[in-house]
Chains A and B, each alone.
Chain A
Amino acid sequence: MSEPRLVEVRRNVLKQNDVIARALREQFRAAGVFVVSLVSSPGSGKTMFLEKTLSQLQPHYRVAALVGDLATENDAVRLARSKAPVKQITTGTLCHLEAAMVQNALQEWDLHQLDFLFIENVGNLVCPSSYDLGENLRLVLMSVTEGEDKPLKYPTIFNSADVAVVTKNELAEAVEFDWNAARTSIQSVRPGMQIFRLSAKTGEGMEEYLAFLAQQLAEQRATTAQI
C-alpha cells in the first residue's frame, strides 16, 4: 500500500535560462556593450527598423546584430546591407530565442569591439516574454497598422519590455491610427513606459530614438566606471 505525501521542492522552471542570462548580462557589462533586444509580432517592420538603426548608428558606433528567424536567412541578408556584422540564429520550430542560443551565437565575436549589440527575436508577441536574454533594454515594436489595442491583447510582452516603438508612422493617417488610444493602452499595461513614434522608411522620429540609445550607452558606461 502507498499513500500520497507532499514534498516541497520550489524549483524555478526557467532557472537554467536565467542563470545563462545573468552570465551574459555580466559579460556585456564587462565588455562595455549595450544590448537591445527587439520583440514584435510578424510584419511590424522590425527588420526595416533594425536595418535603419544599424546604418544610422554605424558612422558613430561599432554595432552588430543577432537575428532570430524560424527558417530563412532573409533577414540576415537584408541586414548585412548595413555593413554591420550580422549573424542569423535559425530556431527551426522554436518560437522564441533562449539565452543559450545567444551565448552560442556570440562565441566567435569579441564583445569588447562593440558599442551596441541588437538581438532581433522571432516575430511573436507571446513566447519571448518568458525568456531573459541578458539584454539591457527590451524594446517592443508595434506598427500603426496593427491596431491601437495591441498592448491590451498581449499585455505580458508589453509589460516585460522597457520601451515601446510605434512604427510605420507614414501610414498612420491612411489607417486612421488613434495615437491617444494607443498611448493609453500602452500606459495601461506598462505605466510610465517611454514611447517612440517613428517611421523607419521616411526617417521621421529616428533621431530622437537614436539619441535615446546613445544616452543609454553613456549612462551604462558611467555606472560601470564607478564600480
Chain B
Amino acid sequence: MHELSIAMSIVDAALDESQRRGVQVSAVHLRLGALSGVVKDALLFSYEVACQDTPLQGSRLIVEDIPVVVFCPRCQEVRTLSSVQLFACPECGTPTMDVRQGKELEVFALEIEEEEEVQG
C-alpha cells in the first residue's frame, strides 16, 4: 500500500502550484494510467488523509482513468487494450509491448475558487 505516499506527493504538487498562483484549490484532477501501479480506491481514501491540516483540506480528488493504449505493428494502428492481462492487439491478436499510453500518474489540472476582485 503505497497510495498514501503517492497521495502526499499529489498534495505537495497541488499545493506548490496553488501557492505559486495564489489561489484556493477546490479539486485536483488526476490522470491515472491502468499501468501506474496505483489502486484508485486506496488513493481516494489516502487523499483525504493527506489533505488534513493543509490548505487542501476539504478539496476533492477527481480521477480520470487512462486505459492502456498500444501500437499494433501488424495493423499499424493504435489500439486500446480491454485488459492489462493481455498485451495483444484486440483486433488481430498480435502481441505488442509498444505502449503509447497507460502509465500516467499526473496532476493534470486544478479547480480553483476565483475570488472576485474587490474594487476600491
Instruction: Decide whether A and B assemble into one complex.
Output: yes
Are the C-beta atoms of A11 and B2 separated by less than 8 Å? no
Q: Is the interface of B mostly helix, strand, loop or mixed?
A: mixed
How distant is A189 from chain B, measured CB to nearest CB, in Å?
6
Are the C-beta atoms of B85 and A12 separated by less than 8 Å? no
Q: Contacts A9-B17, A188-B85 known; A2 to B37 CB distance under 8 Å?
A: no
Cα A54 to Cα B61 with chains together (Å): 46
Are the C-beta atoms of A10 and B107 separated by less than 8 Å? yes
Q: Per a CB cutoff under 8 Å, which of B13, B35, B105, B114 touches A3? A: B114
Are the C-beta atoms of A5 and B2 separated by less than 8 Å? no
Are the C-beta atoms of A14 and B2 separated by less than 8 Å? no
Are the C-beta atoms of A5 and B111 separated by less than 8 Å? yes
Are the C-beta atoms of B108 and A126 separated by less than 8 Å? no
Contact residue range for chain A? Answer: 20 to 34
Within residues 1 to 33 of chain B, which ones have a CB less than 8 A from any CB in chain A?
1-2, 5-6, 9-10, 13-14, 17, 21, 23, 26-27, 29-30
Cα A7 to Cα B20 with chains together (Å): 13
Q: Per a CB cutoff under 8 Å, which of B1, B6, B111 touches A130? A: B6
Contact residue range for chain B? Answer: 35 or more
**6 intermolecular pairs with C-beta atoms under 8 Å apart:** A2-B116, A7-B112, A9-B107, A156-B35, A188-B85, A191-B88
Name A's B-contacting residues (CB within 8 A): 1-14, 16, 94-96, 126-127, 129-130, 152, 155-157, 159-160, 187-192
* Known contacts A4-B111, A129-B37, then 15 further A-B pairs from the complex at CB < 8 Å, ordered by chain A residue: A2-B114, A4-B26, A4-B112, A5-B114, A8-B109, A9-B13, A10-B108, A13-B6, A95-B1, A126-B1, A126-B39, A127-B37, A159-B35, A159-B84, A188-B86
Name B's A-contacting residues (CB within 8 A): 1-2, 5-6, 9-10, 13-14, 17, 21, 23, 26-27, 29-30, 35-39, 84-88, 95-97, 105-116
